[in-house]
Chains A and B, each alone.
Chain A
Amino acid sequence: QVQLVQSGAEVKKPGASVKVSCKASGYTFSNYAISWVRQAPGQGLEWMGWISVYNGNTKYAVRVQDRVTMTTDTSTSTAYMELRNLRSDDTAVYYCARDLWELHETPAAFDIWGQGTMVTVSS
């Protein structure tokens, strides 16, 4: 079945970096873009950015654009999100989510979600 499986929980110190993985299966990975969405404890959803697996184009939210890098590895059907210079307010569950439409130029909706990865930033 179509699914996204994310890497396990992480605990990091302020100033460190974290790299979360998202392995896709059940569909043609290169044909669908991936977005990353995070959710701080007790808070709503925050869109972080988008990567077109097809051509590598990326777009990041202003709030994290100086600290985030999104990449993909088509040989393993895996997407990655790296966040650098972590702060306490980066503590959140991080989700990867697949675009609804194949080979679409922009996000339109997210139909498949990973299970989430808890990232805790604490000294």
Chain B
Amino acid sequence: QSALTQPASVSGSRGQSITISCTGTNSDVGDNDYVSWYQQHPGKAPKLMIYDVRSRPSGVSNRFSGSKSGNTASLTISGLQAEDEAYYYCSAYTRSTTLWVFGRGTKLTVL
């Protein structure tokens, strides 16, 4: 099972919006709505930011939003803040031999 495809890095200025894409196949991202996104700061455990494609857990800012079209999911962060600088990983349930797959991660730099 190959990892989901994400850009290695994205950047944006404070206050701007950025979008991180996550491309899979019709066995994972395109197959179901169990797509989630995680934020990870260096040396810390991942934190759930988006689940079920577009739902936000309690306590996560509404500046974070998710969407999906076909085999590609997206995470949009609006009104970028310094504390958003981190790695972001998408993930999805898959009907392949493995139940779950992560993306390779995207480093977000806030300028």
A residues lining the B interface (CB < 8 Å): 35, 37, 44-47, 50, 59, 61-62, 95, 97, 100, 106-111, 113-116
Contact = CB atoms under 8 A, between A and B. Distances in A.
Contacts of B97: 62
B46 A35 contact: no
Contacts of B100: 35, 47, 50, 107
22 contacts: A37-B102, A44-B3, A44-B104, A45-B40, A45-B102, A45-B105, A50-B100, A59-B98, A59-B99, A61-B1, A62-B1, A95-B45, A95-B46, A106-B34, A108-B36, A109-B48, A109-B51, A109-B91, A110-B36, A111-B51, A111-B57, A115-B45
Contacts of B3: 44
Interface residues of B, number: 26
Contacts of A115: 45
A62 B57 CA distance: 30
B45 A113 contact: yes
Given A47-B91, A95-B46, 15 more contacts: A44-B3, A44-B87, A44-B104, A44-B105, A47-B99, A47-B100, A59-B98, A95-B45, A100-B48, A106-B34, A109-B34, A109-B51, A111-B51, A111-B57, A115-B45
B64 to A, nearest CB: 14
Nearest to A113: B45
Contacts of B99: 47, 50, 59, 106-107
Given A44-B89, A108-B51, A109-B36, A116 B45 contact: yes
B34 A108 contact: yes
A110 B48 contact: yes
Nearest to B35: A109
A47 B36 contact: no
